[in-house]
Structure 1
């Protein structure tokens, strides 16, 4: 299957954000916090690559009916590095890819309306041999673990 802009899907070992996320992607995920909060969700993603920046629009649908939209902008700054921003992220993140694995960390407002719940995500995304990408993230507050997320991405 050929993606938008003529990019072919990445195989394990040559993972790039633009190679995997340009075009349509879907995901299923979960968020589990130590206070007992558990949320399941699906995500429809649309990625556009302009040769330097991947704009990745994420449309979330949560199991309680809530919907949300987030937009990542990943600027490629080296063969294996990207700078990323999103509307709820404080500052930016640096994504580093090694083989089939991308790692990045960022601070986000979980309640952006009053900026009262800032947490840090430590994400590890791995391109699997079957073509899915598995993202696991540890979420911390004041340096202590408070939640885990797991998201499995699939190319459409």
Structure 2
């Protein structure tokens, strides 16, 4: 029995080490330094933006699809982005982000459903944000740790991948594309 418990503890420690040091959350902004195109939030997340994506549950199956209309605006290094989401269930969600971009590329982010502030960095073709978000009460009101990565493509599209964790365990993942909305 002791050998089983020790084996289980070792297996869990190895999985935790893999996630922390080798997996998606282990990426660093410097991994994208020198890679182009150069991602600048003020330029690439500006104006009306169309977003389309899916949310995967903890088993890796799609649990939701969504579209979103965003409007991002910047004054110098301060910006806001409003997001209006429509889910395949018929549900809607709104969020308003506030961003402050420092000259070194570091980012401070705030939104009403964040617990504390988000922090990140833009470097090369990637942008990383980490924050804690409180889910709506009808979704359990849980606080999740989020690792959010955005990658700028050559054509100006942005691929967004986010992982949501509770007590270190992956509970959801989001993959979305964002691109400037075409003028009507």
Instruction: Work out whether the TM-score is over 0.5.
Output: yes
Instruction: Provide the C-alpha distance between the structure 2 equivalents of 1:25 and 1:32, rounded to a whole number of angstroms.
Output: 23
Instruction: Provide the C-alpha distance between the structure 2 equivalents of 1:112 and 1:100, rounded to a whole number of angstroms.
Output: 36
2:82 matched residue in structure 1: 57
Instruction: Provide the C-alpha distance between the structure 1 equivalents of 2:62 and 2:152, rounded to a whole number of angstroms.
Output: 28
Give structure 1 stretches of 5+ with no counterpart: 1-11
Decide which of 40, 43, 48 is 1:19's aligned counterpart.
43
1:39 matched residue in structure 2: 64
Which structure features the higher share of strand residues? Answer: 1
Q: Is residue 130 of structure 1 aligned with residue 155 of structure 2?
A: yes
Q: Which has the larger radius of gyration?
A: 2
Moved over 4 A (4+): 112-115
Instruction: Provide the C-alpha distance between the structure 1 equivalents of 2:129 and 2:101, rounded to a whole number of angstroms.
Output: 14
Contact 1:45 1:58 in 2 (8 A): yes
Instruction: Provide the C-alpha distance between the structure 2 equivalents of 1:133 and 1:37, rounded to a whole number of angstroms.
Output: 20
Contact 1:83 1:94 in 2 (8 A): yes
SS in 1 for 2:102: strand
Q: Structure 1 residues 141 and 115, CA, compared in 2 at 3 Å: closer, same or farther?
A: same
Contact 2:54 2:62 in 1 (8 A): no
Pairwise CA RMSD: 1.8
Give structure 2 stretches of 5+ with no counterpart: 1-35
Instruction: Provide the C-alpha distance between the structure 1 equivalents of 2:84 and 2:139, rounded to a whole number of angstroms.
Output: 22
Q: Structure 1 residues 113 and 63, CA, compared in 2 at 3 Å: closer, same or farther?
A: closer
Shift of 1:113: 6.8
Contact 1:109 1:115 in 2 (8 A): no
Shift of 1:52: 2.6
Indicate the larger mover: 101-110 or 75-84: 75-84
